[in-house]
Structure 1
Amino acid sequence: MQLGGHALVADDHPLTREGLALAIRAAAPGIALDNAGSVAEAERAVATRRSGYRLVLLDLILPDARGFSGFLKLQHLLAATPIVVVSAREDPVIVEAARALGAAAFVSKSTPLDALAAALRRVLAGEAVFPPQSLASPAALSLRDRISTLSGAQLRVLLALADGRLNKQIADSLDITEATVKAHLTVIFRKLAVDNRAQALLAVQPLLAATGTP
């Protein structure tokens, strides 16, 4: 498949990045590649690459990610760009969460190069690629739908809240006022159908819980 444009590989292990890059080149020889070793680097790459990306391969566990927090950040930035979640684990709960949140695919790091390239060709053709046993539950889909209504600013506040930060700490880290944080939290609680911080954290815990070492 000859395909122009750019793809982004976000993984903190250089050898893994190279393996993923080989798979992308095999799937789409004409595509150019950018690399990132953290979510922050991936965010900067997205901001810099004004032409956008045709494909993103994202290691689920990066140094500055917690559960699906990195995925959620990039998803808000990338809009319709397909994101392929890459992980050393194939826990059905993790796979289900990836599908429910709108990932284009979930692939194991142990997948042979030719099989990975084949999966990426399918993703580039508009298909969703997941292990056969993966089936998103109604609860996971409902949570995805609620999270999808959050703005980028609201999502950043929610993720900061999940890190245990107080309102003042959230305001300082995001360079906004405490009043703005409180306003965002009010909207977040309404959209997640919860009444307070504790309930909000419980609602998103399945997506932000530790997913293991990659």
Structure 2
Amino acid sequence: MTTGQRVLIADDHPLTREGLSLAARAALPGSVVDQAGSIGEAQAAIASRRSGYALVLLDLMLPDAKGFSGFLALQHAAGSTPIVVITAREDSVLIDAARALGAAGYLFKSQPIDTIAQRLRTILSGTPVFPSDGEAGAVATARERIATLSGAQLRVLLALADGRLNKQIAGDLDISEATVKAHMTAIFRKLGVNNRAQALLAVQPLLGDAGSERHA
């Protein structure tokens, strides 16, 4: 792959986009990553790029989309550009629908960033990637990991999921920033991740249900 190619990430959570951007750059070194928080923003980005995108990563649960309406809209706008559904929804019906509608892949946000990157490389080589039966347990795995968190750690994690910074979390929870950092360190260790973006991706399978209610 040559440098200068572009990847478009359509997801309405900034930290999730950050994590997916890391995966996209690892999969396509030298690429430029554009971000959109809605289908409308993604359509505008596609329309503004005459040279097009090498890849589009799409969360199904965007505010201005229902079901696969956003996918179909971007598919129409992007032409032959491969579109990868990346979501917290581990539903065999959705997986089958994505495959039938021509998605280039269906990836789970709960997967480690290096795994997502490896699968994006496979997709970029022309091979579709869809989950195996053994990967459908990511929700249960995320639930088990969250169960190991203390109440204070869980409150910090939920604040993190809302996109708050350490200083904001400290103020909202009436604790010091040093305590927030200590909780973050423990959370990363228990979730088996290295940073905030990876932590958010690791628990997205559980946060996804709440997100679907917000977007309904």
What TM-score comes out, normalization by structure 1 length? Answer: 0.62
Q: Percent identity?
A: 60
3-state SS of paired residue (2:128): coil
- Partner Cα distance (2:109, 2:26) in 1: 16
Give deviations 1:33-55, integer Å, cap 9, x for gaps.
11100000000001111110010
Give deviations 1:53-76, integer Å, cap 9, x for gaps.
010000111000000000000001
CA offset at residue 89 of structure 1?
Answer: 1.4
What TM-score comes out, normalization by structure 2 length? Answer: 0.61
Give deviations 1:78-130, integer Å, cap 9, x for gaps.
11100000110111001110000000000001010110000000011011000
- Partner Cα distance (1:95, 1:73) in 2: 18
Unaligned 5+ segments in structure 1 are 135-210
3-state SS of paired residue (2:119): helix
Dislocated runs of 4+, deviation >2 Å: 1-4, 211-214
Amino acid at match of 2:105: A
**Are 1:88 and 2:127 matched, yes or no?**
no
3-state SS of paired residue (2:95): helix
For the aligned residues, what is the CA RMSD? Answer: 1.7
3-state SS of paired residue (1:34): strand
Amino acid at match of 1:64: D
- Partner Cα distance (2:133, 2:49) in 1: 36
- Partner Cα distance (1:50, 1:63) in 2: 26
Task: Tell me if structure 2 keeps the 8 A contact 1:11–1:37.
Answer: yes
Which residue of 2 is the match for residue 124 of structure 1? Answer: 124
Which residue of 2 is the match for residue 19 of structure 1? Answer: 19
Q: Which has the higher helix share?
A: 2
Alignment of 1:138-149 (within 5 A): none
The number of equivalent residue pairs is 138
Unaligned 5+ segments in structure 2 are 135-207
